[in-house]
Structure 1
Amino acid sequence: KGFEHLIDACAELARRGLDFTCEIIGDGPLRDDLQTKIDMLNLSPRVSLLGSLSQEAVLEKLQAADIFALASVMDRQGASDIFPTVIIEAMAAARPVVSTRLAGISESVMHGETGLLVPPGDTIALAQALQQLIQNAELQTRYGRAGRARVEQHFRIEHTVVPLLQLLKKTAVAPAKPKAPLAGHQIAYLIDCWPDKGLPLLERELQEMKRRNLPIVPFVCELDSTADFVAIDELVQELEFLPDAMAIEAEWRANPALEQKLEQERAQEEHRASSAIFLRQARFALVLRKLLLDRRISHAHATSSRAVVCALILQSIADLTISATIEPHSALPQNWILVALRRCKGGRLSDRRLLKGLGKTFLFDRAAADSLPKKIVRLLEQKSEIDLTKRANFWQEWSELLLQWSRAGRDENKAQ
């Protein structure tokens, strides 16, 4: 819940000379530590830990408050509040909300309309947001009323439960979508996020694979719900989306032994992905493992460097062969990418420097070159001595490699 950051923000407000009190409701193993922090910062007259309260008492406190604050952060295991219902309760009580831009919080709190959102863990920004509301009673009232209106418009039972029931009824009578045959050489295409502005050519790649009847199954780990899908509705129907964040988190927490194993393996790596990227992709991998095993998929292709993190974990826990496409501007360090690529059967790279020493199964990514200006393409051709004009042949060559790796992966599994 980030209570330690809220207490630090209160200390900052006290230093600025603001008159306020803060009541923290709830109990847990961190209570003694939080009380010690309050005492050390001389905040006891201002900040109180009220412990667990009944629902009625919580409602009374909300109605008596001027501002509701929830300083949510991600913990060391990458877990966080997904969609805190207490925020909806505060908005229903017509209270302005100060919280953080984390998970689904921004779906309930509209920044600058029903409250203020700050980066998780940013104590100064949190203090500034609280000060803005403490010093402006009119803004408190305006945000509070807007929050109440938003709850009535979007979060009433008839607006949430009824559509869900209708969807469940519709699904119950709809014919089940037939699964692809298990005996084939299906290939998992791991897509970190859909759509992804950083991968503008991915849509075309999927279309090229479909045109060649390649048995790929595009798994989307996270959906960008703000995107406009009008132009790509047909393609979206071909994608398979992972469950929502809450279901993914539940699966992760249900496997503590595997979580520990993955953390230990990561600790032994000389070059590592960042903790945030690793924990996010590890959660995806845990859900994907069952999906891929059920379909007897033996090869997974990562469509970006972030997805490579997921693919490497799947290689460890699901015994798959993997390949990778590395985008021009990766979020991962180059040393890590080089180590990761050596664990792949092959792949596509737009940086010709990375191709050195990787073998013939790693291709220069002509798909990326396809979107470049002609002058740059000619320059790349001169320096790399690679013909970038044979793009139709490129997609055929790529699809054949994927099939080859899939068959090899299946043969390796049979041999074991």
Structure 2
Amino acid sequence: LGQDDLLREICNAAEFVAVETDYSRGLLQERCPEAAGKIYRVYNGLDLTHLPTPLEEERPLGPTIILSVGRLVPFKGFEFLLEACAELDRRNFDFRCQIVGDGPLREKLEKMVADLRLGQRVELCGSLSQGEVYAKLRSCDIFALACVVDAEGASDVFPTVIMEAMACAKPVVSTTLAGIPESVVDGMTGLLVPPQDWEALADVLVKLVRDPALRSRLGNAGRVRMTNEFQVSKTVEPLHQLFADCLARSPVRVPSTSQVATAKQSAYLIDRWPDSSLPFLEMELRALQRNEVPHVAFVMHPPVASELSARTNDLVRQFEYLPDAMVVEAEWQADTASLRELEAQRANQKHRPPSDLFLEQARCALILRRLFRQHNIGHVHATSSRTLLGALMLNKLLGLTISAAIEEKPILSEPVLREALNQCVGGRSNDRELLARGGSGFMFDQTLDKPSVNDIGPWLTRKARIEWTGARPFWQEWSERLLGWTRSS
């Protein structure tokens, strides 16, 4: 949330503050002492009806299966898990380790697997559907997540996948980091070691590989703990009571009819603000205001305090921001039907975007679906190739028309981009080949215009015209197209 002053201001103004662990509660009370009395711990819960029941039949003979699930990022500690696996291999234990997930560390982990000669022991499975992850949870012998604090200070706090593994009656091996000991009781439902200690991690894995009875005892205790303490119907009770107490003190005011949005609006999907790769986005938003285009800007990643500018504060105050990661994750896990629908959409695509980018945008799309209904959205405009993925999902979920502005260096590959733009009613780009394929709804983006060797003189004239006029004719034409798409919905 940026600076402590802003955090304290938010907490002081709130009726109450809910955090997911006692660990988080203690940290927040230290940073916001004046609000300490209204900071409450509300655990995330599980809906066990959506999780597979534990296997009851006897496990077939074969190597012990160690499973780990998470995005391939530093704070998940996969490097330490691989070091521990190398130690198990040196001791000649019969095991297999499956790592499910994708992310920026994939190449590094692949190299580690090769360097440690673990090719026959460790499998990097990539990103899998939720159903496939649950199937692996159900069939593994040990679940391991070697959480650490990364170089920027980021870490897991209360990993949901650990709770899911316990609900599947699997013994958990993890670290004593943050709120993990609040879900995993060391020696009762799993075994915990200090973060970054791969030797201790290897020792507890050896203990479980050697002792099937211990695995069974810890796993069954974990299932009981999840059933008795962490079912969502139980964990939501304190939050429900907090809201009830709040409403009793300050009854909610029902908005008048005049306050409810009736006209259709365009949604502007913005990945982050500010964004150096979109230098004319501020100009574009001000043009929409000037041309009276009803719209709502939805920002996925809000600015931190150091990025705020007095010049754009009026825009920032009007933006709609996605809720925090805990709320996004909860909505993601609660809507398995939409999740399967989006995964099927990706599976049917001839050219697919990177899985980690797909999962990020899918989470955003499920939250935006609810926000769009509140704001009476009639058309979705993606301001970049990244948010175009989310727009495509909202087209699938809500049937809304979509448009896109493609930046100079798009994040998507050309085949993926072409396939995505075929589903847009229009958009903007400075790539004339893309525009030729897109049809009459697409405009050449003058703000991204670049000179050729023989075009320096005319280009300077066009550039000066844009800077002097704020590209008013260009933005007027764009505004008219947006209005048409929105009203026709």
TM-score normalised over the length of structure 2: 0.50
Compute the displacement of 1:185 (Å).
Answer: 2.6
Q: What's 1:268 paired with?
A: 348
Aligned with residue 42 of structure 1, among 78, 91, 96: 91
Q: What's 2:149 paired with?
A: 99
- 1:69-117 CA-to-partner distances (Å, cap 9, x unmatched) read xxxxx97469xxxxxxxxxxxxxxxxxx94346994299xxxxxxx9xx
1:206 matched to 2:285? The reply is yes
- 1:368-391 CA-to-partner distances (Å, cap 9, x unmatched) read 23xx6x888944968xx9997572
Compute the displacement of 1:183 (Å).
Answer: 2.2
Judge conservation of contact 1:377–1:388 (CA < 8 Å) in 2. Answer: no
Q: What's 2:437 paired with?
A: 357
Give the AA of the match of 2:413. P
Give the AA of the match of 2:405. T
Distance 2:448 2:128 in 1: 36
Aligned with residue 250 of structure 1, among 313, 330, 344: 330
Distance 1:242 1:336 in 2: 26
Q: What's 1:235 paired with?
A: 315
Distance 1:359 1:279 in 2: 30
Distance 1:355 1:393 in 2: 20
Aligned with residue 314 of structure 1, among 382, 387, 394: 394
Q: Where in structure 1 are there 5+ consecutive unaligned residues?
A: 15-37, 45-73, 79-96, 108-114, 116-128, 132-164, 410-416
Give the AA of the match of 2:399. D
Distance 1:227 1:283, change over 3 A: farther
1:7 matched to 2:119? The reply is no
Distance 1:275 1:292 in 2: 25
- Mean Cα displacement is larger for which, 360-369 or 264-273? 360-369
Q: Where in structure 2 are there 5+ consecutive unaligned residues?
A: 1-67, 70-76, 94-125, 131-146, 158-176, 178-195, 199-242
Q: SS of 1:205's equivalent?
A: helix
Judge conservation of contact 2:331–2:367 (CA < 8 Å) in 1. Answer: yes
Q: What's 2:304 paired with?
A: 225
Judge conservation of contact 1:350–1:365 (CA < 8 Å) in 2. Answer: yes
Give the AA of the match of 1:359. G
Compute the displacement of 1:278 (Å).
Answer: 0.7
Aligned with residue 373 of structure 2, among 293, 315, 319: 293
Compute the displacement of 1:197 (Å).
Answer: 2.0
Q: What's 2:361 paired with?
A: 281
Give the AA of the match of 1:6. F
Q: What's 1:304 paired with?
A: 384
How many aligned positions are there? Answer: 287
Judge conservation of contact 1:381–1:387 (CA < 8 Å) in 2. Answer: no
Distance 1:207 1:335 in 2: 33
Give the AA of the match of 2:376. R
Distance 1:381 1:305, change over 3 A: farther
Judge conservation of contact 1:366–1:388 (CA < 8 Å) in 2. Answer: no
Distance 1:208 1:358 in 2: 24
Q: SS of 1:189's equivalent?
A: strand
Identical pairs, percent: 35
Distance 1:380 1:228 in 2: 36
1:398 matched to 2:398? The reply is no
Compute the displacement of 1:367 (Å).
Answer: 2.2
- 1:16-49 CA-to-partner distances (Å, cap 9, x unmatched) read xxxxxxxxxxxxxxxxxxxxxx4x44288xxxxx
Distance 1:246 1:43, change over 3 A: farther
Give the AA of the match of 1:262. L
- Mean Cα displacement is larger for which, 244-253 or 202-211? 202-211
Compute the displacement of 1:295 (Å).
Answer: 2.5
Distance 1:227 1:365 in 2: 30
Equivalent residue runs for 1:12-411 within 5 Å: 38=88, 40-42=89-91, 76=128, 98-100=148-150, 104-105=154-155, 181-225=260-304, 227-231=306-310, 232-369=312-449, 378-379=455-456, 391-409=471-489
- 1:300-347 CA-to-partner distances (Å, cap 9, x unmatched) read 101000111000000000110111100000110111111111111101
Q: SS of 2:276's equivalent?
A: coil
Distance 1:177 1:6, change over 3 A: farther
Compute the displacement of 1:401 (Å).
Answer: 0.4
Give the AA of the match of 1:346. G
User: Aligned Cα RMSD in Å?
Assistant: 4.4
Distance 1:101 1:223, change over 3 A: farther
Distance 1:405 1:386, change over 3 A: farther
- 1:188-247 CA-to-partner distances (Å, cap 9, x unmatched) read 111112222221221221111112221110011222436421332221001000101110
Distance 1:226 1:174, change over 3 A: farther
Give the AA of the match of 1:297. I
Distance 1:297 1:330, change over 3 A: same
